[in-house]
Structure 1
Amino acid sequence: MELYNLKHPSQKVSFTEAVQLGLGKDRGLFFPTRIPVLDNIDELLALSFVERSKKVLGAWLASELGQAKVDELVEKAFNFDLPLVAVDEKRACLELFHGPTLAFKDFGARFMAQCVNAFAQDSRLTILTATSGDTGAAVADAFYGLDKVNVVVLYPKGKISLLQEKMFTTLGKNIHTVAVESDFDACQHLVKQAFEDADVRDGLHLNSANSINISRLLAQICYYFEAVAQSKQRHSSDPVIAVPSGNFGNLTAGLFAKAMGLPVKRFIAATNANDTVPRYLENGLWQPNPTQATMSNAMDVSEPSNWPRVEAICEKLGWPLTDLVGIRLNEAQTSAALKQMHDIGYISEPHAAIAAHALTMNLKDDEVGIFLGTAHPAKFKDVVDRELGLNLPLPPELKVVEQKAILSAELVPEFGSLKAHLFKLLG
């Protein structure tokens, strides 16, 4: 598999190199020179999730890694369920929160961890990543205890739920966490600055586990195939898929799936008040506003890093960007969407509720839709309990961390402070 840097197309790398580098020159994202097209979609959709995923990822990676290695990576990474649950006659939720950290990030993080472990050389790697909530837990769990990897997770202090925070800040060992006194965009900027600093990048053998890493995106393609496979067992029509969108890695993976031949009628990018993309799709102007804190905090992103890949896919396939639908919900609408879901017997959380309501706003009478359930409702227990008047029980994965102490360092959002901290910690 060959990829090139979207900012510097002359920089070309293999999949192995792209996984290890994370970002290209000048923070450029790696993008495949070729998107494989599958011509046996009906046969693929009849397979089990794991067996189909081997073939989907093999179309990208078998020529470089060998199909046997791809099969091994998939079997180790994908070992939990992802049911498509009907919430009414026209909408169903693909529940992606049945993995070890109760969030969709488990798919990409676990696959990436298997790749990094397989490709690791003698030197110890440092995974540096930023999280707006669920990435931190998924990455920490996936890499926890690996001998050749240190993990450093940056997150916005006080801007993620306490249970989200405790899932990755209480582990210790090779997992190091930093609470940054700012928002997610500032955390993401610090990560990008670290990759531009040769002392940090080379001295600590830096890599990133954000959705900018191509291994995570390829893994996420697989669950779109599963969503359509389950939908086709109930409905003959191609589904509309609504994606809760923050950094836009999830939507990027969906577009890759469609480019491979997956029958999806259209995608909806559902955001909260941080609506840079919906406004851009409406008026063609890229105008990020200051990030607003919302109850759907994992989507509190004003400058989504993966957007250049979205545009690159559309350009490569000749798809007008206007084929994407952008829908934003404010806080009052998010609260109403949560209550609406609860009224019909389905307990959701803010991110999925936004996507579910976006479907309702956009579906035509003869259409069916899928929205992605990206996190277990209990990960947002404070919000869900408050908005719905409930007292959600904690699943075992959250109950075990509830009373644990947070081990995070705290830093101001200045790169010099982060650099000094990293070398004190790992140098």
Structure 2
Amino acid sequence: MKLHNLKDNSEQVSFAQAVRQGLGRNQGLFFPESLPQFDDVEALLALDFHTRSAKILSAMLGDEFTEAEVKALVDAAFQFPAPIKQVEAGVHALELFHGPTLAFKDFGGRFMAQSLAAVSDGGKITILTATSGDTGAAVAHAFYGMENINVVILYPKGKISPLQEALFCTLGNNITTVAVNGDFDDCQALVKNAFDDEALRKEVGLNSANSINISRLMAQICYYFEAVAQLPVEQRKELVISVPSGNFGNLTAGLLGKAMGLPVKRFIAATNVNDTVPRYLETGEWDPKPTIPTLSNAMDVSQPNNWPRIEALCERKGWGLNELGKGAVTDEESKESVRALDAQGYLCEPHGAIAYRILKEQLTEGETGLFLCTAHPAKFKEAVDDILQRDIDLPAPLAKHAALPLLSLERDADFEQLKQVLRDAQ
């Protein structure tokens, strides 16, 4: 598999290099030089989740791994399902929260951990990532206890839910968590500064585990195929998928699937009031505003890292950006949608509810709708309890970590302080 740096096309790397390196020169994202095309998609969709995923990823990776080796990575990473549930006539939820940390990022985090272990040369590795909620837990649990790999996770202090925090800030061992006095964009800027420091990168063996890393996106492509495979054949041709979007990795993965032949009529980019992308699609002006804290905190991102990949893919495929659906939802509107879903017997949380609301607004007659539920409602228990005025149950993984003490460091959004944390983690 050959990939190039979107900011410097002269930098071309293999999958193994991209996984180990994370980011390219000048903070550039790696992007595939070419994508496989699946002509007989129906035959592919007839396979089971693991076999199909191995075929998709093998076709992308080329001769870097055998199909048997890819299947072993998939079997180790995807140890939980991605079921769809019908919410109402013609509208389905894709549940991506059945993994160990109850969020969609378990798929990408675990596949990246397996991939990195497979391509590692035994040298020192420090995973550095920023999280707006769910990435942290997925990465922490995926890499917990792995030899020769240290993990440092930055998150905005007081701006993720207490249960999200408990899931990854109670582990210790090779996992260091840092509560940053700032917002998610501050955390993301620190990560980028670290990757720009060549000496630091070499000193600590720096790597990234958020959706910057191409292995994460590749894993996420697989559950879009799994979702379509579960739909009746007659509903696949007019399928509209609504994606709750923050850093835009999830939407990127879906569009990559479409580019390879997945039958999706169109995608919708659903955001909260941090609406840089919907405004850009409307006006053509990239104008990030200061990040606003919301109930859907994992989407509180004003400068989404993955957007350049979406633009590159659309340009390659000749897709107009105006073909993307878009919409932004306020906290009050997301609350209304949580209640509306609950009234239909489906328990959801604010992120999934945002995707549902915009899907319902834009779905037309004859179309089938699918919206992504990216986290278990109990991860946002305080918000959901308040919205629905009842006490929802805690799943066992959350109850276990909620009872443990937090082990996080607290630091300012200061690069010198981060460098010291990275060195101390060795």
* More moved, 237-246 vs 271-280: 237-246
**What is the aligned partner in structure 2 of residue 348 from structure 1?**
348
Does the alignment pair 1:96 with 2:96? yes
**What is the aligned partner in structure 1 of residue 67 from structure 2?**
67
**What is the aligned partner in structure 2 of residue 416 from structure 1?**
416
Counterpart AA for 1:391? D
Residues 25-424 of structure 1 aligned to structure 2 (within 5 Å): 25-233=25-233, 235-424=235-424
Q: Percent identity?
A: 57
- Structure 2 CA distance for aligned equivalents of residues 11 and 33 of structure 1: 12
1:425 deviates by 3.1
Counterpart AA for 1:227? A
- Structure 2 CA distance for aligned equivalents of residues 69 and 232 of structure 1: 31
- Structure 1 CA distance for aligned equivalents of residues 308 and 237 of structure 2: 30
- Structure 1 CA distance for aligned equivalents of residues 415 and 136 of structure 2: 20
Question: Contact 1:133–1:165 (CA<8 Å) still a contact in 2?
Answer: yes
Counterpart AA for 1:217? L
Q: Secondary structure at the match of 2:241?
A: strand
Counterpart AA for 2:52? R
- Structure 2 CA distance for aligned equivalents of residues 420 and 8 of structure 1: 30
**What is the aligned partner in structure 2 of residue 18 from structure 1?**
18
1:72 deviates by 1.0
Counterpart AA for 1:22? G
- Structure 2 CA distance for aligned equivalents of residues 127 and 232 of structure 1: 41
- Structure 2 CA distance for aligned equivalents of residues 236 and 95 of structure 1: 18
Structure 1 residue runs of 5 or longer lacking an equivalent are none
- Structure 1 CA distance for aligned equivalents of residues 421 and 230 of structure 2: 47
Question: Contact 2:58–2:67 (CA<8 Å) still a contact in 1?
Answer: yes
Structure 2 residue runs of 5 or longer lacking an equivalent are none
Question: Contact 2:155–2:178 (CA<8 Å) still a contact in 1?
Answer: yes
- Structure 2 CA distance for aligned equivalents of residues 237 and 36 of structure 1: 21
1:235 deviates by 2.5
Counterpart AA for 2:4? Y
Question: Contact 2:228–2:236 (CA<8 Å) still a contact in 1?
Answer: no
Paired positions, count: 426
Counterpart AA for 1:9? N
1:390 deviates by 1.4
The 1:236–1:192 alpha-carbon spacing in structure 2 relative to 1, beyond 3 Å, is closer
Counterpart AA for 2:412? V
Q: Secondary structure at the match of 2:165?
A: helix
1:66 deviates by 1.7
Question: Contact 2:269–2:324 (CA<8 Å) still a contact in 1?
Answer: yes
The 1:231–1:71 alpha-carbon spacing in structure 2 relative to 1, beyond 3 Å, is same
1:120 deviates by 1.3
Q: TM-score, normalised by structure 1?
A: 0.99
Counterpart AA for 2:210? N
* More moved, 74-83 vs 242-251: 74-83
Superposed CA deviations along residues 375-425 of structure 1, whole A, max 9, x for unmatched, are: 000000000000111101100010101110000000000111111222233
Question: Contact 2:152–2:425 (CA<8 Å) still a contact in 1?
Answer: no
1:365 deviates by 1.5
- Structure 2 CA distance for aligned equivalents of residues 236 and 130 of structure 1: 36
Counterpart AA for 2:375? A
Question: Contact 2:132–2:297 (CA<8 Å) still a contact in 1?
Answer: yes
- Structure 1 CA distance for aligned equivalents of residues 195 and 71 of structure 2: 31
Counterpart AA for 2:354? I
Superposed CA deviations along residues 76-96 of structure 1, whole A, max 9, x for unmatched, are: 111111110000002100000
Q: TM-score, normalised by structure 2?
A: 0.99
1:234 deviates by 6.6
1:245 deviates by 0.1
Q: Secondary structure at the match of 1:407?
A: coil
Moved >2 Å (runs of 4+): 232-238
Question: Contact 1:240–1:266 (CA<8 Å) still a contact in 2?
Answer: yes
Counterpart AA for 1:225? F
1:236 deviates by 5.0
- Structure 1 CA distance for aligned equivalents of residues 406 and 200 of structure 2: 26
Question: Contact 1:120–1:148 (CA<8 Å) still a contact in 2?
Answer: no
1:65 deviates by 1.4
Question: Contact 2:236–2:263 (CA<8 Å) still a contact in 1?
Answer: no
Q: Secondary structure at the match of 1:47?
A: coil
- Structure 2 CA distance for aligned equivalents of residues 77 and 236 of structure 1: 27
**What is the aligned partner in structure 2 of residue 4 from structure 1?**
4
Question: Contact 1:231–1:239 (CA<8 Å) still a contact in 2?
Answer: no
- Structure 2 CA distance for aligned equivalents of residues 384 and 122 of structure 1: 44
Q: Secondary structure at the match of 1:126?
A: strand
- Structure 1 CA distance for aligned equivalents of residues 94 and 389 of structure 2: 25
Question: Contact 1:157–1:179 (CA<8 Å) still a contact in 2?
Answer: yes
Question: Contact 1:194–1:201 (CA<8 Å) still a contact in 2?
Answer: yes
Alpha-carbon RMSD: 0.9
Counterpart AA for 1:99? G
1:233 deviates by 4.7
Counterpart AA for 1:44? L
